[in-house]
Amino acid sequence: MTTAVQFLKSDGDSSSTADYDAIVIGAGVSGLYQLYKLRELGLKALVLEKGSRVGGTWYWNRYPGARFDSESWTYIYSFSKELLDEWKWTEHFATQPETERYLNYVADKFDLRRDIQFGSEVIAAHYIEETRKWEILLSDGRKYHATFLITAIGILSASTLPRIKGVETFAGEAYHTAQWPHEPVNLAGKRVAVIGTGSTGVQTIQEAAKVAGQLTVFQRTPNWCAPLHNTKITDEEMEQIRARYPEIMARCQETPGCFVHGPDPRSALEVTPEVREAFFEKLYSEPGFGIWYGNFRDILVDSDANALISDFVARKIRERVKDPKVADRLIPKNHGFGTRRLPLETRYYEVYNQPNVELVDVNETPIQEITPTGIRTSAGEYEFDVIIYATGFNAITGAFEQIDIRGVGGRSLKDAWASGPQTYLGFLVAGFPNMMMVMGPHGGVGNFTRFAEFNANWVSELLRFAVARGATRVEVTQEAEKRWFGHVADSGIGLLSNSVDSWMTGVNSNVEGRSARRVMRYSGGFPAFREYCEAATRDNYAGIKFE
């Protein structure tokens, strides 16, 4: 390839210079694949990773019960047939250790580790206009320079502790689920508290209840949950899955969330009550997100249709939980089924029938303080050996806020996004040349690997285009960014989930200034997102300036 500008060619030795064509932050699902693609382009690339191994989310979230709730065989990388043929999933919804093993296998197979520096926490990234390079600073003082900065820092990676008085005073063991120790944590026979009942809390509670002497769950907002129905994958079944990979991947490309589950074309309001009930029963008995993404087409956009499925699941909760008062506490009242991320569970509701489990509704009896010995609510004091915080994340933009990112004129990204993120296709930000985001805000939320692969491919094509032109400065125009934001905002109109507080609408009571909803994600579904991105490519990136 002839280029007007000399790019550094990979010589396989990433330690020889602190100057790179591209630096990727994060060695999780998206960062690993992005590195693979950068090498394919022949660029000299480095990945900076805070953890000591690859895996990102699947490295940090080691809490008891952590597992996929997307089908394992759809969450796999699809770029290498050899990889698809080699890897064997043992369960339809793999555990965290299995997923972490998979990502390590990928890193080994493609020899990715030689361009990854572990224990490297990026604290600042500044665009230097004179050199047209990013200067990247690590917490230990190391400094790197790169023409392109690619963030692959995840959408759920900046964990948040609750803002409750005395959090730091507890003298027993305390863990946030996303900062779980690598050493085994023994909960057997102990007095354990779990705060939080999102997808993570639900998975943790199910496991902790099996061994804890006493488990007390502090719930603020109940979530609608549905059965996961996980099973083992036999060798024969794995062979069949391998043979069907092209079909499975093609199917994922067609559905809004990139799952195998896509909406049923019928309206919940048009069918007879018998047909509706039978369909809901079928979905409730099937594995995975079918009941969420494969339900009647209107349950997520029409409140009357939504009330029907909410009522169905409420009945299921009442059937499964023996104490009607406890069942009632577990039934959400302020949002409909599927309007927040649906936790999938395995005998979660039955946990509350166990004598060693208590559910505390913190709306009835608010937590007043965490003390050295436990938790004090308005109803009294509970003593604990272990407190588990399953209190979630400063989602989507939180990981960006942890890095002092500055673009043209020293303007900080935090300031640029003060009232919510602004992006072009979720990949670029005006005023931040040569910064590309893989799985940034407005880039779609669903089956993470499917979206991440698409994202990294798109970014790589953009880089190929830029490099072929010898461009050393790539920046989206304000107009293109504004147009995309308008489209993202429009695509969310009418979706019930956008009228509900959750991480998907950017609300987090544990982060200052995050009580109002924001446009955080593209709600138009993957096929529409892909179409927009491909149109931009076909259009020779008309909204982007190459210099």
Give the binding site for ligand NAP (CB under 6 A).
67-69, 156, 162, 164, 195-201, 203, 218, 220-221, 341, 362, 390-393, 503, 509-510
CB of 93 to ligand NAP, least distance (A): 8
Quick one: DSSP state of residue 7? P
Nearer to ligand NAP, 467 or 500 (CB): 500
Least gap, CB of 167 to ligand NAP (angstroms)? 9
Q: Which residue is nearest to ligand NAP (CB)?
A: 198
Give the list of residues 6+ apart from residue 278 with CB closer than 8 angstroms, or none.
none
CB of 503 to ligand NAP, least distance (A): 5
Amino acid present at 396: I
Contacts of 417 (CB under 8 A, 6+ apart): 397, 400, 441
Cβ atoms of 125 and 399 within 8 Å: the answer is no
**In terms of CB distance, is 197 or 491 closer to ligand NAP?**
197
- Nearest residue (CB) to ligand NAP, 404 versus 501: 501
Burial 200-210 (b: 16+ CB within 10 A, else e): bbbbbbbbbbe
Q: Which is nearer to ligand NAP, 367 or 429 (CB)?
A: 367
Shortest spacing between CB 477 and ligand NAP, in angstroms: 33
Nearest approach, Cβ of residue 507 and ligand NAP (Å): 8
Q: Considering the complex, state which of residue 368 and residue 457 has its C-beta at the smaller distance from ligand NAP.
A: 368
CB 164 within 8 A of CB 379: no
**Minimum CB separation from ligand NAP for residue 169, in Å?**
16
Q: How far apart are CA 208 and CA 177, in angstroms?
A: 12
Name the residue nearer to ligand NAP (CB basis): 203 or 460: 203
Exposure letters 253-281 (e unless 16+ CB within 10 A, then b): eebbbbbbbbbbeeebeebeeeebeebbe
Q: Residue 201 CB, nearest distance to ligand NAP (Å)? A: 5
Helical (H) or strand (E) element with 97: helix 96-109
User: Which secondary structure element, helix H or strand E, spans residue 474, and what is its range?
Assistant: strand 474-476
Closest CB to ligand NAP among residues 164, 488: 164
**Cβ contact 208:187 at 8 Å:** yes
